[in-house]
Structure 1
Amino acid sequence: MPAFEPFRGIRYDTRSLDPTLVTSPPYDVISPNDRESLVDGSAFNVTRIDLPVPDPAQPSADPYRLAAALLTTWRQDGILVTDEVPAFTVHRMSSVDEDGVAHHTTGVVGALRLSAPGEGEILCHEYTTPKAKSDRLDLLGATDANLSAVWGLSPAAGLTDLLQLTEEPTLEFSADGVTHAVWVVTDPSRISAIRAAIEPHPIVIADGHHRYETSLAHRDRIRADSGEGTAAEFVMCFVVELSETQLSVGPIHRLVTGLGFGVDLIATLETFFEIEPFAAPATGVIHALEQAGSLALILPDAEFLLRPRPEMFTTTRDLDSSRLDHALASLTGIDVAYQHGVENIRSAVDSGAVDFGVLLRPVTVAQIIDIAEGGERMPPKSTFFFPKPPTGIVLRSLLDN
């Protein structure tokens, strides 16, 4: 079973720095414009390290090496400070949905021992794309640090209750409609209780498959050079109890370009779906799709429901992402991009930037468990967990632990 250990975390000195200005969303949801806004907001925003770009003033410099140098400088200058003793970090995210219902996700950040898929300790549920993985490997190799946590799910019953702390949080702030409360746990009895709850059970990777697979590749590279027993044997992981009450899973939709001239898209898709006009509600579009048992095709001048024809998907997983991959395989030369948010899809289609979009329904927690435990994986970008833990709450050095 997995080992889950406290570590000496690296944290912003929030006595002098505003956490809303130095933390950021995860790297894979940040657009170029978002990145520009974040780095303009603070000279110490973590995006400067976690999402490095070439420096026009040093065009020949490796951006990953520049990120590593910046991390070192911030630590030396006291912008980032290191825990004196190993600690767990309890993190609670609280938000209110569009219906006024409050949601809370409480988890604990620690160091999770890496285990290859198939060994039974760590279960992955989704394939990854190679480009993003190579980017993360280059960054990890340069910085020797976990800059953001993998999100893991644990079937440990009662873990949420165990993480309900009564002390004042070490850090509390709100950003993007989410309130974050953070506690640094160093008490040996609490550390033992958390480990005792988590370690008897396998961990399902909910989000951060790229980071997990990257960490495995980095571990193997370090083993070849230095043997086992280094900090590279572990990865920073945010562990949440596997419970419907703790998780909100949204869909990641599709944007398609490269549709050939004269291709009858409706006729092509009609082979796989029953198609009818979609009078989308002003709000709750995804709920409407769930009620209709359908995906939705978004065109510049119309929207349609796509109700899967069961006989056409007898060999695919019971997932919208799998069904759509199967249907789109009949269209040659297309490129598929991934985007969350209904309005983002509509905007891209209306602007003419893409040929069409498809809205998907969210995957359920039960489907994630079923696929992971069966040793299978969903297509890339099948799940979108929210709210996302921001990058910059805590970092983990592979040199200090």
Structure 2
Amino acid sequence: MQIYPFRALRYNTGLVKLEDVVTQPYDKISPAMQDAYYAKSPYNLIRVILGKRDPDTETDNVYSRAAAYLADWRQKHVLQEDATPALFGYAQRYTVPGTNEVRERRGLICLGHLYDYEQKVVYRHEQTLSKPKSDRLSLFKATRTYCEQIYMLYNDPAFTVEDLVFGNKTGEPATAPDQTVTDEYGVVHMLWHVTDPRTINLIVTALQDKKLIIADGHHRYETSTAYARERAAELGVPDSTTHTAGRPEPLYGAGDEAPSEYADEHGEARLPSPPFPEAAMMMTLVNMDAPGITILPTHRVVFGLGEGAVASFLERAAEYFEVSRVDTNHDAKDSDAEKIEDASALLAPLTASPGVAFLAATRDGNYLLSAKPEAIDAALQSFTPRQRALDVVQLHGLILEQLLGLSAESIRNQQNLRYLRSAPEAIAQVARGEADIAFLVRPVTLDQLQNVSLSGEVMPQKSTDFYPKLLSGLAFYALD
């Protein structure tokens, strides 16, 4: 993977407080959160990444207003461009939801070259939809600025980048962060500014043989790659998403002097840059071999099935699953503490199950579904053996589509389906009569994600929920 340092636009903390202007990623912002961000500061990033849709016209709309805000903030020096190209160390200290365990996830903010998937440098793990891609492309063309990073994974058992950026492999960073901000979930975000040319080139070299897996940001990556091809054609230059110019030879290794071809006339290390601005996008790279990564489960809540559908489902499910009842006393009027207790009681046998399993919460009872591998293999012959072994594929391909009769299109459009991180809320929606069945699931593992992705296969949408999310607004990549 070819990465690049960049002259980042950053908020001027002499004029604004960082905690007043940064946000969660655009696709994790609820209407209530949007209102709260608007109220925090007139310079809050929400106005750019997810502006309110007033009665829009062709010339005055959410995208044109986003561009106008960015231009105004730059003119007022609320956003300032760094004097030199840099990379950024990025650490997030957080408590794993539902536990008292504190973890720290470390990464590197940089520009990453954009490759077609066929180049086998960047791999996806989930399917994408056309509507989010269209929205993000319209915003990007209007602003020509990356305000959010996408989250990428790579393998490095030697922790080379961590050592270069943080001064050690996994222990306490050698220096204090340049910036620190705590978000609304209590996650502490820390940023280190890496400007030394030699260190930057060593990091660039360390990553050049790495393959990346998209953790969060599939829609934005595919949008940016398509735009890079479009711009290459407009500029009359080679398509950088496939051209070998986007994959140069390594620079130099640790302990080496900068060779003359990578030094300027003063002998200083020369930094790599994209062949043209649109050929790269802003990313955070995280080492899968390092501690600190958390994947949470995303539960499925099914509604609108019709009378008798749940009983029919349970009867048909017995052909493919061992079905055993799990009793709790959940009720729509339960307190939050009681809902959490009920969810814990339901999740305990699911967590203890040795094979693929699901917990189906219904108004008439709760059932642990433990997979019968031979029966499921026969029912999912259209999937590869690697995919058939995944909980989410069995849930979507067999339970939702075959046993409940939901079409793949209706699932994509969420016509009868909701995705929820909270198990208590999922079972509460069933108890309140807002849903027919809640399927509680276990999270996908890093090994499963890596095996599927690097084989060129994909999982259903919403298969993973990486926590915490990358904070938006820590750095910007402006193309102009």
Normalised by the length of structure 1, the TM-score is 0.92
Stretch moving more, 35-44 or 293-302? 293-302
Structure 2 distance, partners of 1:143, 1:127, is: 26
CA 1:260–1:332 in 2, change beyond 3 Å: closer, same or farther? Answer: farther
Q: Does 1:342 align with 2:423?
A: yes
Give, in angstroms, the shift of residue 295 of structure 1: 1.4
Task: Give the secondary-structure state (helix, strand or coil) at the position aligned to 2:90.
Answer: strand
Q: Is the 8 A contact 1:148 1:395 kept in 2?
A: yes
Q: Does 1:235 align with 2:281?
A: yes
What pairs with 1:1-400 in structure 2 (closer than 5 Å)?
A: 2-56=1-55, 61-97=60-96, 98-156=98-156, 157-158=158-159, 159-164=161-166, 165-175=173-183, 176-228=185-237, 229-243=275-289, 245-263=291-309, 264-279=312-327, 282=341, 288-292=349-353, 293=355, 294-300=357-363, 302-314=365-377, 315=381, 316=383, 317=387, 318-326=389-397, 327-330=399-402, 331-332=404-405, 335-399=416-480
Task: Give the secondary-structure state (helix, strand or coil) at the position aligned to 2:474.
Answer: coil
Query: Structure 2, unaligned stretches of length 5 or more?
Result: 167-172, 238-274, 329-339, 411-415
AA matched with 1:211: R
Deviation readout 1:149-191 (Å, 9 max, x if unpaired): 1111121331333332423211112221211111111111221
Structure 2 distance, partners of 1:286, 1:104, is: 26
Deviation readout 1:236-281 (Å, 9 max, x if unpaired): 1100112262311112221223313332332243343222223578
Q: Is the 8 A contact 1:54 1:61 kept in 2?
A: no
* Structure in which a larger fraction of residues adopt strand: 1
Q: Is the 8 A contact 1:39 1:45 kept in 2?
A: yes
Task: Give the secondary-structure state (helix, strand or coil) at the position aligned to 1:205.
Answer: strand
Give, in angstroms, the shift of residue 91 of structure 1: 0.6
Task: Give the secondary-structure state (helix, strand or coil) at the position aligned to 2:221.
Answer: helix
Task: Give the secondary-structure state (helix, strand or coil) at the position aligned to 2:109.
Answer: strand
AA matched with 2:162: T
Q: Is the 8 A contact 1:207 1:385 kept in 2?
A: yes
Task: Give the secondary-structure state (helix, strand or coil) at the position aligned to 1:370.
Answer: helix
AA matched with 1:208: G
CA 1:77–1:288 in 2, change beyond 3 Å: closer, same or farther? Answer: farther
Structure 1 distance, partners of 2:28, 2:45, is: 14
Q: Is the 8 A contact 2:327 2:365 kept in 1?
A: no
Give, in angstroms, the shift of residue 213 of structure 1: 0.8
Structure 1 distance, partners of 2:371, 2:129, is: 26
AA matched with 2:292: Q
Q: Is the 8 A contact 1:232 1:398 kept in 2?
A: yes
Task: Give the secondary-structure state (helix, strand or coil) at the position aligned to 1:39.
Answer: helix
Query: Structure 1, unaligned stretches of length 5 or more?
Result: none
AA matched with 1:328: L
Structure 1 distance, partners of 2:162, 2:451, is: 22
Give, in angstroms, the shift of residue 351 of structure 1: 4.0
Q: Is the 8 A contact 2:23 2:37 kept in 1?
A: yes
Deviation readout 1:276-308 (Å, 9 max, x if unpaired): 223578275656523124211122453322222
Give, in angstroms, the shift of residue 397 of structure 1: 1.1
AA matched with 1:50: I
Is the radius of gyration larger for structure 1 or structure 2? 2
Stretch moving more, 100-109 or 267-276? 267-276
Structure 2 distance, partners of 1:350, 1:321, is: 24
Structure 1 distance, partners of 2:441, 2:223, is: 28
Q: Is the 8 A contact 1:93 1:104 kept in 2?
A: yes
Structure 2 distance, partners of 1:57, 1:213, is: 26
Give, in angstroms, the shift of residue 3 of structure 1: 0.8
Structure 2 distance, partners of 1:215, 1:72, is: 21
Give, in angstroms, the shift of residue 41 of structure 1: 2.1
Give, in angstroms, the shift of residue 338 of structure 1: 2.2
Deviation readout 1:308-334 (Å, 9 max, x if unpaired): 221233134121210011121123356
Identity of aligned residues (%): 30
Structure 1 distance, partners of 2:57, 2:84, is: 38
CA 1:186–1:324 in 2, change beyond 3 Å: closer, same or farther? Answer: same
Deviation readout 1:6-28 (Å, 9 max, x if unpaired): 11111111233222221111111
Give, in angstroms, the shift of residue 110 of structure 1: 0.4
Structure 2 distance, partners of 1:72, 1:300, is: 54
Aligned Cα root-mean-square deviation (Å): 2.2
Deviation readout 1:311-367 (Å, 9 max, x if unpaired): 233134121210011121123356223222213323433444433221221111111
How many residues are paired up? 398
Deviation readout 1:107-158 (Å, 9 max, x if unpaired): 0110000001121111212211222222212211221111211111121331
